Amino acid sequence: MRRYIFSFFILLFLISLIIFLRHDDHPLRSLVRTEAREVYVLDDSLYFSAASDTLLEGLSCYRDSAARVTTALGQTCNLHGHVQTCLPYGGDAMAGLSVAELQQRLQRTLVSLERRYKQLRRYVRSFDYYANTHTITDDGYNDVMAYRAIYTARLSHVEATLAVLRRHAKKPQHALRHLWTYYTGTLTADVSRATPVGGASHRALLVLRPHHRRGAQPDSVTHRPHSPYILTAASSDRPIYTLASEPLRARYGSPVMVCRDTASGAYYHLAWQTDTAFMATAYLPNGTFRRGVFDADLRPHGQGLVQYADGTFYDGAWQHGQRHGFGIGIEGRRICAGIWRGDVFQGERMIYNAARIYGIDISRYQHEIGGKTYPIRWGEGLRITSLGTASRKRIQGEVSYPVSFVFIKATQGTTIYNRYYAADLAAARAQGIAVAPYHFFSMKAGAPQASYFLSHAQVSRATLPPMLDVEPSEAEIRQMGGDDVLFREVLVWLRQVEQQTGRTPILYVSQNFVNKHLPRAPKAIRRYPVWIARYGEYKPYVCLLIWQLAADGRVRGIKGDVDINVFNGSKADFEALIKR
């Protein structure tokens, strides 16, 4: 009998040891994801999340869009793997706030929200500009229009909230309430059959498998000061675990993981796609949200969306954490839709076809070539046959575009007049081509140059607005007295011509001038439409009217090289410009 009892205890000890070893190898039996929603309400009409200096966080006149959602992971080692927990409650951050303090915060919030409104309005104007200068044939057009709709809705939302906030800011008394709701959901991780896989082993990632009872349920326990199941950082040498469960593969197509990166504090919802890539959604502690394909080091790689805490975004191609390829994003004050290389925006790659509006600009150099004089054969019907070879271009169909507009050099400085100007102007008009004169600016006073141009250019016979060609060298700008003196005299020319002709002149500059000098121009300069010369693959990404894309183009009816230009807009926009 004693022998049987002894054997029984030995067997019990062995079973306990096996259980202990299995438990020691895999101490994590289950995890639970906890979600909390927090929102304040002011006079039952203005909602916001907790914030220190202003009430701007989550501010809305709609409750659903104002709540701040916080998540955490809890763990348990019980046999059933079912646990409910909640986030630690830190107390009411706004409790005891006096009416005077609340009033001050409302005023600061009003200033901040008005700044946000102006920012959104700039973005919407940028989207509108894109919509007016592109067609559905352009890369990413539909995606840009989708974001245009999103930001237009955000602008309307902020405008409505701003109206409510302005009413509140004038009130001496306010009824402030704090709303806090807990939600809990059960997620279990059965790691007894898990196998380690390669990649990112230096990160502490904890992998979960959804339990059949997953899903958020309202928590009956409120304001619990802490939970014993709040997840702490795991060991730094813990590898990634993925489940080898065939039923799970059949259900999801690939192992599904919910992970926490203890290095960054980020949460990931991952689906293993290949040996080196994840389909994932990531929530970073700084407020950044990422969704798309990630590499083994959890950096965006492939197609993906990143939304930053400041409200900006990038949606497009990534390469190991850098924006690379075609994408749409907000950078500074502008919308950038085009090609990115090494996290730097290069510009927009145009598609050239017969639907665009093309034109040329000419001077005496289209007549005098190599000591000989050549006429322009206007009567044959000018057609563009080449867009130049200095840069790569994407062309649909044959290059045989009609010349829809021509700018002819009339004057330079106060002494030079193009002797071919009058004849070319008359010939272009006779062929029904939209035409306008331009003046080449000398580094001297602007008023005498404007007078000289007006006395020779016959602007009244022009179809399009006149153009001022500003192409100074760096040495000429310094000799003139710097940017301030240059812009002062340029502005004198523009205003004088505008006042006497009733047409708003166009400012022609190079890409180098745009990069180095135009940012220092006074606001009065920036109201004039811009024509940029840039002989590269990418379209200049500024608000422009015309782009000179090649200096070595070819036109049937003209001898030698010709400057080729494309109007930045539709045919309707071009006709509207002529009518104005």
Q: Which residues pair with 216 in a beta bridge?
A: 185
Q: Centre a 10 Å sphere on the Cβ of residue 289 and count the other Cβ atoms it contains.
A: 14
Per the CB < 8 A criterion, the answer to whether 534 and 513 are in contact is no
The pTM of this model reads 0.71
- For the chain, the structural domain boundaries read 30-272, 351-579
Closest C-alpha to 477, from 507, 520, 418: 520
Closest C-alpha to 334, from 124, 478, 160, 35: 124
CA distance 563 to 552: 6
Tens of pLDDT along the chain (580 residues)?
666 666 665 666 566 555 544 443 333 344 445 555 677 888 888 888 766 677 777 788 887 777 666 555 544 433 443 333 444 444 456 666 778 888 888 888 899 999 999 999 999 998 988 888 888 878 888 999 999 999 999 999 999 999 999 988 888 788 777 776 555 444 444 434 333 333 333 223 333 333 333 333 333 323 222 222 222 223 333 333 333 233 333 444 445 555 666 666 676 776 766 655 667 777 787 778 888 888 877 788 899 999 887 778 899 999 999 999 999 998 877 888 999 999 999 888 888 999 899 999 999 999 999 889 999 999 988 999 999 988 888 898 999 999 999 999 999 999 999 999 999 999 999 999 999 999 999 999 999 999 999 999 999 888 999 999 999 999 999 999 999 999 999 999 999 999 999 999 999 999 999 989 998 999 999 899 999 999 988 888 788 899 999 999 999 999 999 999 999 988 888 998 888 7
What is 351-579's CATH superfamily? Glycosidases (3.20.20.80)
For tokens 């500024």, the residue is: 542
Token pair for residue 41? 């309400």
